[in-house]
Amino acid sequence: MNYQKNIIKNGVTVHKIDTSKFKTNLFAIFITTPLNRATVTKNALVSAVLRRGTNTFPSQELISKELEEMYGASFDCGVDKNDDNQVLKFYIESINDDFLPEKYNLNEKSLKLLVDIVTNPLVENGGFKKEYVEQEKYTLKQIIDGKIDNKARYALDRCIEEMYKNEPYGLYKYGYSEDLENINEVDLYKHYLDLISTCKIDVFISGSNMSNLNENEILAEFNERIANYTTITNKYLINEIKDPKEVIEKMDVTQGKLMIGMDALKVSEEQRAAASVYSVILGGGANSKLFQNVREKASLAYTAGASYIKAKNNVIIRCGIEIKNYEKALSLIKDQLKQIENGEFSEDDINSAKQLILASYKNISETQDGEINYYYAQELADKFSSIEENMKEISAVTKEQIIDIANKIQLNTVYFLTGLE
């Protein structure tokens, strides 16, 4: 196995992926903290401000210059949501030392710079640099307010928000515009100090020839920072049956966006492979029931698909439809759900779904970021399964197991984004 992990302190884990597939090495730091309405916007803002400068490199321009001198290394960061957790992600990608004209120890410089960005931010007068905070507040507001521009993504987010109303997973990963006005540089820095002392930190190192990299020494800074680590937990079982609800939102759109959020009730860790196959048979590709029957045969949808959110045991159906076809499309979709419950699907349907999932597993190791995110998901699940083991589980799924999953599917929310008239 090309993967190993080492817990260097409670709350700080180093993951090393030994691969010679790529000419680059990828270093990542993931900061994981529970989603919370009071802090979600601040956390997103912290991620943006940290990239602006450190005490070593006080501006984005100086960080960029350092990256250029590191043979054109690249830096990126962002915010994600995984189960009930908000994740701040920081990456540096640099050329493998084997491809450099001289011995440079670029691995060490890359990891040191990444740690510097995360743990050594530029501080002025007891807070972050005011100019940086104000600029990033403006940029973050544009992102938050601009989520409405992509109507399909907006509808999906709204469906999840309605499914998880007043629950952590319903929160928008970038936060809320109304929170930004009351955030200043001093309060944000205090929040950062609290965040970095209690969060879960995962450091990922992907590449080859890492034997000379003393990551424990480079990561010593975290030993001083992490003081009161809060355990991260993921919950997979959904036992509560909720009354289905219909949410219709009007906007100036010409195409309706229909999202149907469903809970997979009492689906255990061992049953998630069958749930994945179920989801693909329902709406995972061109051979799926939604694509073939709702889109192709009935011509009721421009797009029709479904996806399984493993972290929450949800299946979400996504359709772009003509507004007038709402009732017809909804009725036909429910028919497809009933057909799978009754076992009205073939071995060809099962095999086609399996092949699609297996191909996606094979593609994980084709990118360094894909591998890192796979092992990070395993870390949060606190149950390690190799890619090969997951593929075997998918291959072993039976028709009876899929029917069992289908009968555990409970409608949660029907969300429809429709026109003004």
The reply to whether 318 and 387 lie within a common domain is yes
Q: Tell me: do 139 and 271 sit in the same domain.
A: no
Domain boundary among 225, 260, 279: 225
- Whether residues 85 and 202 share a domain: the answer is yes
Both tokens of residue 69? 């001198």
238 in a structural domain: no
Residue 278 lies in a domain: yes
Q: How many domains does the chain have?
A: 2
Distance CA 165, CA 170 (A): 6
Instruction: Note whether residue 287 is domain-resident.
Output: yes
The domain boundary, picked from 225, 254, 284, lies at: 225
Same domain (yes/no): 154, 54? yes
Q: With the C-alpha atoms ordered 182, 187, 192, 195, is the resulting torsion angle positive or negative?
A: negative
DSSP-assigned letter for residue 380: H
Q: Is 143 helix (H, G, I), strand (E, B) or coil?
A: helix
The answer to whether residue 235 sits within a structural domain is: no
Q: What CATH number does residue 182 fall under?
A: 3.30.830.10
Residue 14 to residue 376: CA distance in whole angstroms: 11
How many angstroms separate the CA atoms of 186 and 130, rounded? 9
Domain presence at residue 391: yes
Residue 32 domain-assigned?
yes
| Contact present, 45 and 183 (Cβ < 8 Å) | yes
**Do residue 286 and residue 371 come from a single domain?**
yes
H or E element in which residue 142 lies: helix 130-145
Largest alpha-carbon pair distance within the chain?
68
275 and 394 part of one domain: yes
Element (H, E) at 248: strand 245-250
221 shares a domain with 163: yes
pLDDT of residue 149: 95
107-137 core/surface letters (b: 16 or more CB in 10 A; e: else): bbbbbbbbbbbbbebbbeeebbbeebbeebb
- State phi, psi for 260 to the nearest 5 degrees: -125, 110
Q: Say whether both 32 and 133 belong to one domain.
A: yes
Q: Are residues 260 and 397 in the same domain?
A: yes
Residue 238 confidence (pLDDT): 65
Residue 234 in any domain: the answer is no
Determine the structural domain holding residue 84 and report its residue range.
3-225
Q: Are residues 215 and 250 in the same domain?
A: no
- Cβ-Cβ contacts under 8 Å for 63 (sequence gap 6 or more): 51, 53, 54, 57, 75, 113, 117
| Calpha distance 61→52 (Å, rounded) | 9
Q: Quick one: 159 and 55 in the same domain?
A: yes
- pLDDT of amino acid 229: 61
| Per-10-residue mean pLDDT, the chain, length 421 | 82 91 95 96 98 97 97 96 95 91 86 94 96 98 96 96 94 97 97 92 90 79 64 62 90 96 90 96 95 95 94 94 96 97 96 97 94 92 88 97 96 96 76
Same domain, 215 and 259: no
Other Cβ atoms less than 10 A from the Cβ of 357: the count is 22
Helix (H, G, I), strand (E, B) or coil at 417: strand
Residue 76 domain flag: yes
What pLDDT shows up at residue 215? 83
Residue by residue, DSSP assigns 208-243 as S--TT--HHHHTHHHHHH--SPPPP-------PPPP
The pTM of this model reads: 0.93
Residue type for 406, please?
A: A
